[in-house]
Amino acid sequence: MTRLRRISQIVFFLLFVRLLARAKISNSSGADTRSLHPINYFFKLDPLTALVNLLAGHTLSSALIWSLIILIPTFFLGRFFCGWICPLGSMNQFVDSIGSKSMRRKTLIASNRYKKWQATKYFLLIAGLVAALFRSNTIGWNDPFSLVVRSIEVSFLPAAASKKYYVVYQPHYWPSVLMGVDFLALLLMNLRVTRFWCRALCPLGALLGMATRWSILGLPRTQPLATSAAAA
């Protein structure tokens, strides 16, 4: 299962990057192709985006139907999306795997215990949904798809395209620079706390986590984590 999960993460991450690259190329043509952006297929599968659009627009949309592809299996399989499909979740896992194995053994049990600060994502979710009722899409800033696309398109791609991007320090570049720094900081936090973004800040993870409370399938814990680790 671990090998299958890693294969799934790689496949969906490469697909996400490929679609994002195609969207960037279509932008460079100068034509209005927003409705044809391939990356929109990922956003259509996002239950959080569909719910926010429903609350803000007070109308049903096709995006809500597409999002059921992710939401319905969650009731049976738990948060499979976070560990098998989400590109940001895959990036977090990759950065987390960089740490030394000896350090990970010492911190794995502690980092996997539930902490009160991990409930932050639920507060962010509730606040974002309330804002959506007033036609504000502020929660979109924390949606994992939006966060990755915005950071890559606004910060990293311009940096790669211009050698003077970080040398000239022009004022209108600073928001993009700060956005890139914030994104890198979120990734690097995984070296300190395993899957920090997923555990503490992701509103989509919070939404799917609420759905898993009615999950039909699951892995029951029969002994404490510390005992399990000692046995291993």
Give alpha helix (H) positions in 78-173: 80-84, 87-98, 101-112, 120-133, 144-151, 157-161, 165-168
pLDDT, one tens digit per residue, over 85-129 is: 999 999 988 888 876 554 555 555 555 666 788 889 999 999 999
Tokens of 97: 């795997």
- Give the pLDDT band (50/70/90) at residue 174: low
Comparing CA positions, the residue from 232, 207, 219 lying closest to residue 81 is 207
Q: Taking 90 as the threshold, does the pLDDT of residue 178 lie above it?
A: no
Q: If pLDDT is split at 50, 70 and 90, which confidence band does 155 have? A: confident
Q: Helix or strand or coil: residue 162?
A: coil
Contacting residues for 199 by C-beta, under 8 A, at least 6 apart? 115, 118, 121, 193, 205
Check residues 156 and 201 and name the one with the higher pLDDT: 201
Q: Is the pLDDT of residue 173 over 80?
A: no
Bigger pLDDT: 32 vs 179? 179
Residues 144 and 202 sit within 8 Å (Cβ to Cβ): yes
**List of residues 6+ apart from 32 with CB closer than 8 A:** none
Q: Report the distance separating Cα 207 and Cα 127, nearest Å.
A: 12
Name the most confidently modeled range: 30-34, 172-176, 184-188, 226-230: 184-188
In the chain, % of residues over pLDDT 90: 13
Domain ranges of the chain: 2-29+38-217
The CA R_g of the chain, rounded to the nearest whole Å, is: 19
pLDDT digits 0-9 by tens, 28-83:
444 444 444 677 888 888 889 888 888 887 766 666 788 888 888 888 888 889 88
Ranking 131-140, 144-153, 214-223 by mean pLDDT, the lowest is 214-223
Q: What is the pLDDT of residue 210?
A: 87
Cβ(12)–Cβ(39) below 8 Å: no
Model confidence, pTM: 0.75
